[in-house]
Chain A
């Protein structure tokens, strides 16, 4: 029951991401992304394998419907899923994994949640900005895009974490 509620929220947020990519292009230097937060907030009882396959399918759906480069979100999101457990272990500790608890904003506090979102989004954006630029942009531009996108996405991700909180 809990899982189905989570998957409904997940699907709605993927649709929100598609709408953002299609209609909210504020600047070339800002890429708003919710996807890393969706993956990092997956209940910890799900395996890395499940997270990677979900990330791959999600990335494909977003790439296909957003009309961008097919493969870009996929290539950037799969590493987030691969390192999800490492990030959870670093930020929330081994105990959360041992108990198989969910990543909850109410229980774990905003500081840790924001920190885990930033780590996941940074990992996503490193691959995303690098592959999207394909070596044609100057380094300062890639850095600026990375910084601006990380800042904007981190703010948005906090609200995503609130929505995904299983205790809400």
Chain B
């Protein structure tokens, strides 16, 4: 009983300590943008670690289920391989496919937000798996988002349902390109913006990645075009319904452009020359 009573001051002190530290860190975060970014990144890392840990525990208890699923997938892949091997010369043709400069890493979704204006995704692969910031996140259906920060074992990305990201997109079968932004209303709604008035984009046209950015390879399907709306009489915005439904997403692929730094260095040196 005496022991129980003596532990109260320690608990109260610890609680007050946490409250005062949170208040101090919040003030620090507001007083400088550098500290603000640092604190936010640290918070995200902690979040990613916590969610990753809970995911690992959940995975441990669903190992049997996963084994069954992997066995089934293995069987299907073997079947497909057998069919490829049966087709004469097809494997030789596969070897001749040129390197597109991108590296693909499969990852699992640890956590994803869907109900705010700045939605994010946390993946179970990090810098130790070769993931770096500004890598694309795709799935078998379409574009998912962009990696924003990486920890050793986890990555934090902004999803396509985030008003802060724009993706360079192109209309399939034409040279019409423009930035694609989320409409902020529905999970599958977005706009292809700044399209010149003389360019035709018809409802039903497929929208794909342009390949003009260093994040995504070209020709990854994004969505299907809808109605166009003229803005200020000078350009038009085209409504796009995204292919990717984020609510059912479990596995993704991270796309890393291995030549990105080289391209950016070239851009930087060109800009320098231009200023001279």
Contacts and interface: CB of A to CB of B under 8 A. Distances in A.
Interface residues of A, number: 21
**Range for the number of chain B residues in contact with chain A:** 20 to 34
B28 A131 contact: yes
A48 B41 CA distance: 31
Given A79-B21, A82-B13, A71 B34 contact: no
B39 to A, nearest CB: 8
B230 interface: no
B31 A71 contact: yes
Contacts of A70: 27-28, 30-31
B16 to A, nearest CB: 6
A49 interface: yes
Given A59-B24, A75-B24, A75-B25, A48 B9 contact: yes
Which DSSP category, helix, strand, loop or mixed, fits chain A's interface? helix
A69 B24 contact: no
B5 to A, nearest CB: 15
A52 interface: yes
Which DSSP category, helix, strand, loop or mixed, fits chain B's interface? helix
Contacts of B25: 71, 75
B12 interface: yes
A134 B20 contact: no
A124 interface: no
Contact of A78 (B21, B29, B31): B21
Contacts of A71: 24-31
A74 B24 contact: yes
A69 B28 contact: yes
Nearest to A85: B13
A102 to B, nearest CB: 21
Nearest to A72: B28
Given A78-B21, A78-B24, A79-B21, A69 B16 contact: no
Interface of B: 9, 12-14, 16-17, 20-21, 23-32, 34-35, 37-38, 41
24 contacts: A48-B13, A49-B12, A53-B20, A56-B23, A56-B24, A70-B27, A71-B25, A71-B27, A71-B31, A74-B20, A74-B23, A74-B24, A75-B21, A75-B25, A75-B28, A78-B20, A79-B17, A82-B17, A131-B35, A134-B32, A134-B34, A134-B35, A134-B37, A136-B38
Give the 6 A-B residue pairs with the shortest CB-CB distance, closest first: A71-B28, A71-B27, A134-B38, A74-B24, A75-B24, A70-B31
